[in-house]
Amino acid sequence: MVRTIVVGGVAGGMSAATRLRRLASGAEIVVLERGPEVSYANCGLPYYAGGVIERRDDLLLQTPQSLHTRFGLDVRVRTEVLAIDRETRRLRVRDLVTGREYDEGYDHLVLSPGAAPVVPELPGVERALTLRTVAEADRLAAAVRGGARTAVVVGGGFIGLEVAENLARRGLTVAVVERDAQVLAPLDPEMAAPVHAELAANGVALHLGATVTKVLADVVELHDGRLLDADLVLLAIGVRPETDLASGAGLKLGPRGGIAVDETMRTSDPHIYAVGDAVEKVDRVGGAPSLIPLANSANRQGRLAADAIAGLPVRLGGRIGTAIVQVFGLTVATTGANEKRLRAAGRPYRVIHTHPASHAGYYPGAEPMSLKLLLDPDDATLLGAQAVGGAGVDKRIDVLATALYAGLRADELADLELGYAPAFGSAKDPVNMLGYIAGNQLSDGEQSIQWHEVAAAVEAGAALLDVRTAAEYAAGHLPGAISLPLDELRERMAEVPDRALIVYCQVGQRGHTATALLTGHGYRVHNLDGGYRTWKAGTASVQSARPGAA
Amino acid sequence: MVRTIVVGGVAGGMSAATRLRRLASGAEIVVLERGPEVSYANCGLPYYAGGVIERRDDLLLQTPQSLHTRFGLDVRVRTEVLAIDRETRRLRVRDLVTGREYDEGYDHLVLSPGAAPVVPELPGVERALTLRTVAEADRLAAAVRGGARTAVVVGGGFIGLEVAENLARRGLTVAVVERDAQVLAPLDPEMAAPVHAELAANGVALHLGATVTKVLADVVELHDGRLLDADLVLLAIGVRPETDLASGAGLKLGPRGGIAVDETMRTSDPHIYAVGDAVEKVDRVGGAPSLIPLANSANRQGRLAADAIAGLPVRLGGRIGTAIVQVFGLTVATTGANEKRLRAAGRPYRVIHTHPASHAGYYPGAEPMSLKLLLDPDDATLLGAQAVGGAGVDKRIDVLATALYAGLRADELADLELGYAPAFGSAKDPVNMLGYIAGNQLSDGEQSIQWHEVAAAVEAGAALLDVRTAAEYAAGHLPGAISLPLDELRERMAEVPDRALIVYCQVGQRGHTATALLTGHGYRVHNLDGGYRTWKAGTASVQSARPGAA
Ligand SMILES: Cc1cc2nc3c(=O)[nH]c(=O)nc-3n(C[C@H](O)[C@H](O)[C@H](O)COP(=O)(O)OP(=O)(O)OC[C@H]3O[C@@H](n4cnc5c(N)ncnc54)[C@H](O)[C@@H]3O)c2cc1C
Ligand SMILES: Cc1cc2nc3c(=O)[nH]c(=O)nc-3n(C[C@H](O)[C@H](O)[C@H](O)COP(=O)(O)OP(=O)(O)OC[C@H]3O[C@@H](n4cnc5c(N)ncnc54)[C@H](O)[C@@H]3O)c2cc1C
Ligand SMILES: CC(C)(COP(=O)(O)OP(=O)(O)OC[C@H]1O[C@@H](n2cnc3c(N)ncnc32)[C@H](O)[C@@H]1OP(=O)(O)O)[C@@H](O)C(=O)NCCC(=O)NCCS
Ligand SMILES: CC(C)(COP(=O)(O)OP(=O)(O)OC[C@H]1O[C@@H](n2cnc3c(N)ncnc32)[C@H](O)[C@@H]1OP(=O)(O)O)[C@@H](O)C(=O)NCCC(=O)NCCS
């Protein structure tokens, strides 16, 4: 009988095992898992620690027993694979309960060992917790129950912020320490600014541009000597692919340090497949190798490995890496490439910011959001998108991720027919608006200017025209801007300075109408993309990037 | 100066006027509107009547004055266009306040006269209200304030159900009378069944297969003589394109009775464009002419007419017709073609039903939904989708509408990377699942059977196998089904009858695993698509289709 062994019994591994069973009812399938649980919801761990998910059992989607009963799988927990002998196709395995070691032969091997939290070498770091497994979530929950009052979360990534929120929910005083000038690296800085504000509004102290140098008994010490109270320390500064087993067996690793696989999930050994957080993927945008430690890809790849073993045709294209996270009242979501990454890769791009409402403004309960779109300046295909706000952020990112996958041009977004009733969207949905704005720049040649380009343009002689109302202007404006409300512009055209103009409103929309009007009157005009709101967020992000600004 | 006249000052018309102003700052633009308001939110009218939208002013997005100030538009309300003299390019116009008639010359004409509620010829129908304009919403709201206690809504379409809900919200006892065997015609019958249940659960009496024969002083009489209390009667049996003006001028109409336009919104007269509810569109799926009286298309077409007048390249492809509506606690959404329409067109298709949760089951608050996907059996491209349920329905339909627009194959849905965190979706999102299920049928040759095909297959000798738990079986099952829970199937394989099998579970998922197992053991198996839930909904819809079943 053909025998497949799967190493790692969670997202990628168990998806491979159950799928393979459906494709090969008679095959022998063994799953070896180091930990005490399989098929658990890693993604739920922060919420279990925070008490949102109340029952520990809810985290366990399957058990070795249920997988045996339903799928006829031989699932062995507390069982570590120590080594692969590729020559003889045998694994060296240790039963972690008894300590006994034994060998297991395979015809096909699927590796889905995941990734491990990065733990820096720091004095006292042994006291710090990490969060990857149910056991670690138990430890975190126990620390909270044990009376911890203060917490320092090291790392402002997705997991760090989820943990910070959940600890705050439990009443702890929480500080987040982040080495970078912003949280959530997939966001560009001006999109991260509202997240910083949301953390502050919810009492989470954010220390940007800061590193931890020591973990002491009940404080942590930062690079500048500051001490932060920390009954509890959680490390969430990233994960690294679990590659010991693979590299020990001489399997090829990729440039980013993950296991190298081809489009069929096969490693450099034709009998060994690898999937999930441990492997390298290819970015759909740009084609660069990348680590995308997300559950969607792990599950997808696991299933594809089973297909490949069963002889079905398999081909996984480049990955987009859509990600989403709740940060208190904000939803933050990204898909594709961000501006930082495109700039670093030297790839030309165009940027659009908007600040639409989740649904029609005349219907109660609309929530604001900020959207950013990146597109190819030549063929207008989508390169990436970011969204931060309330309701409807998840929907817009999923639509944009679908459009990006399908290779749509940005101006085609105007053509999408998205469900509109007052409680759900607008007659021109925010995604349609992105398409309109893109089209205006692409075919109509409307010029926009980005928040970080304003200072230089003003330096070079451009005049700044604020077309918002007098009240909006009074509440805050760009330095040196002249106030000339859109609704007075036609009559006061004579007052417009005879120079290159940068026009702006609150979000870009009135600026667009003003730009059209002024262009029609012969002016050379740039519309400030995303308006005052994006400029404000962008300049705030520059502030927080200054050393010691936290 | 080039002079454009727009007839109709709401969704399509005003979108054309404002856009044209941005493209042609010096042009003369006149908007003629019969009613007292322009730029109002038709889509909000039911919610204004229901008190959800509290301020009447919130419905008015712009006023003639604001449009003059901002866009330099000459907007004339209470001004009806009576006739078009195409030869001389002049309109005959009546000022409805003074009764004065006058002529207006145009270079370009844009018609966006909308559609009018269909009013059947019935004794007493004068008493019945319709809902299209703000004035009609005022009348409806006044009737409620005036003490109406009972209401009959004639027509179970989108607007009828929105009004029914809003009247119920105001405390009225509401009955809906629908000629068809189901409400919301874009849904297939098994998808409409939960909507019927939701109406009933909220105290709305539903009379299906029923027509109104008389409107009397405080009741309406149905075809079978029944009388329904009706202090208030609202007609919402559909709209017909406003084509009097166009046909009076000899403009070509299309086969569905709307104004015929080409891809650039041009009518049979090169100086006249027409947009919105009054014109015929082309279905993206199938290419048939159709009336799609929705705001997205009206706004889009209005903007495109302006582009065409300004000389920009314009080309509007076929329309998908995505629609969404809230019905009490349910969200109902559709995109593309439904099964009824495909069957009528003789177009082959394949069907998939699922019943996923809005987000990961282990995270609190997940809400159930039902999804239906229609795909081309040959090339697997999407043909249409329907969704009914709670949270997340709008997102899934918008993703599917985007995929349909982009021409994706159903199995490619498995590859989409949609934002996943526990509060937003699942590691395999419902849309991904549709892709998996499609792929299983397409490449792996898994056979499914639809709810309405079961009876004939059983007749022909197939055995019915219920693989749910004993408790689920006890709570209701298909007539004649054998209970054999999935988790016992491996051991009790000997009990499986040696015949063609129809396997089912609650939603199709366990049925799929059972099907795989049984197929592996040499059985010829069909998995009941959508499981017991779809079968139950489908058979309920057949019941309600029986004459007098209401
Ligand atoms: C706290 C947290 C929150 C997350 N939130 C999200 C989210 O919201 N959205 C999202 O998309 N993703 C999220 N993720 C990421 C997601 O969980 C992973 O992408 C996914 O679990 C990866 O699957 P995998 O199979 O590669 O690895 P894992 O699921 O980690 O499984 C690997 C398993 O292999 C076992 N193993 C490793 N080496 C051996 C060995 N030598 N012998 C035997 N067993 C071994 C490990 O014990 C482990 O159980 C989150 C992760 C964490 C930790
Ligand atoms: C109650 C209700 C709820 C709706 N809900 C939704 C929804 O949730 N989602 C959705 O997508 N769509 C919805 N719609 C449909 C949407 O409102 C229409 O598709 C859209 O308004 C069509 O735009 P239009 O410009 O073609 O017509 P309209 O917006 O109706 O504008 C036409 C205007 O032309 C004027 N006019 C007509 N003839 C003349 C003439 N001879 N001279 C001068 N003026 C004239 C009329 O007075 C009217 O004001 C709803 C409609 C109604 C009535
Ligand atoms: C759950 C787990 C064991 C996989 O089990 P599984 O049975 O393969 O997968 P699911 O329960 O997701 O169901 C998917 C299967 O049901 C099928 N299915 C779903 N709905 C269906 C329906 N209505 N009709 C027919 N089939 C259906 C799918 O096609 C798929 O089968 P396929 O792979 O043969 O195409 C594995 O993913 C796991 O351990 N997950 C937990 C860990 C995890 O994902 N962590 C990270 C995120 S928190
Ligand atoms: C509102 C109405 C007057 C149209 O006004 P409009 O200014 O053309 O349209 P919107 O307010 O929707 O704004 C869209 C414009 O702003 C631009 N825009 C939006 N956000 C922008 C941003 N952040 N930056 C730059 N431009 C932006 C768009 O590109 C578009 O301009 P364009 O057409 O030149 O490309 C018209 O649609 C109307 O009367 N609507 C009410 C009736 C209705 O729609 N009823 C049916 C549904 S209830």
Burial of residue A456, with CB atoms counted within 10 A of its CB: 0-12 exposed, 13-18 middle, 19 or more buried: exposed
Q: Is A247 on the interface with B (CB under 8 A)?
A: no
pLDDT value, residue A170 = 96
Per-residue pLDDT of A153-201, as tens digits, reads 999 999 999 999 999 999 999 999 999 999 999 999 999 999 999 999 9
Per-residue pLDDT of B270-322, as tens digits, reads 999 999 999 999 999 989 999 999 999 999 999 999 999 999 999 999 999 99
CA distance A4 to chain B (A): 17
Beta-carbon contacts of residue B212 (< 8 Å; ≥ 6 apart): B120, B122, B152, B154, B177, B220, B221, B222, B223
Q: Is the separation of the CB atoms in A179 and A213 below 8 Å?
A: no
Distance CA A371, CA A411 (A): 16
CA distance B101 to chain A (A): 31
To test ligand 1's pocket by mutation, which of A277, A280, A290 has the most ligand atoms within 8 angstroms of CB?
Answer: A277
Question: What's the pLDDT band for B549 if we cut at 50, 70, 90?
Answer: very low
pLDDT value, residue A550 = 42
Domains and CATH numbers, chain A: 3-45+52-114+240-309 (3.50.50.60), 125-237 (3.50.50.60), 329-441 (3.50.50.60), 451-528 (3.40.250.10)
Question: What's the pLDDT band for A545 if we cut at 50, 70, 90?
Answer: low
Per-residue pLDDT of B8-53, as tens digits, reads 999 999 999 999 999 999 999 999 999 999 999 999 999 999 999 9
Which of A533, A323, A503, A354 shows the shortest CA–CA distance to A435? Answer: A354
pLDDT value, residue B478 = 98
- One-letter identity of residue A198: E
B550 has pLDDT over 50: no
A51 has pLDDT over 90: yes
B4 has pLDDT over 70: yes
Distance B132 CA to ligand 2 centre (A): 7
Q: DSSP label at B389? A: E
Distance A123 CA to ligand 1 centre (A): 27
A543 has pLDDT over 90: no
pTM of the model: 0.98
Q: Is B91 left (phi over 0), alpha (psi -120 to 50) or beta?
A: beta
Beta strands in B253-348 (DSSP E): 272-274, 281-282, 289-290, 323-327, 330-336
Per-residue pLDDT of A286-338, as tens digits, reads 899 999 999 999 999 999 999 999 999 999 999 999 999 999 999 999 999 99
Average pLDDT over residues B138-165: 97
pLDDT value, residue B547 = 52
Please give the residue of chain A at the shortest CA–CA distance from B324: A419
pLDDT value, residue A549 = 46
pLDDT value, residue B2 = 94
pLDDT value, residue B546 = 63
Which of A45, A40, A43, A77 shows the shortest CA–CA distance to A62? Answer: A40
Distance CA A315, CA A302 (A): 13
Q: Is the separation of the CB atoms in B37 and A531 below 8 Å?
A: no
B548 has pLDDT over 90: no
Distance CA A43, CA B205 (A): 44
Distance of CA B252 to the CA centre of its chain: 27
Q: Kindly calculate the radius of gyration of chain A based on its CA atoms and give it in whole angstroms.
A: 26
Distance CA B295, CA B115 (A): 12
Residue among A294, A324, A412 minimizing CB distance to B424: A324
Query: What is the overall mean pLDDT for chain B?
Result: 96
Average pLDDT over residues B500-513: 97
Which positions in chain B touch A326 (Cβ < 8 Å)? 421, 423-424
Set A32, A148, A505, A507: catalytic member:
A505
Percent of residues, chain B, with pLDDT higher than 70: 99
A445 has pLDDT over 90: no
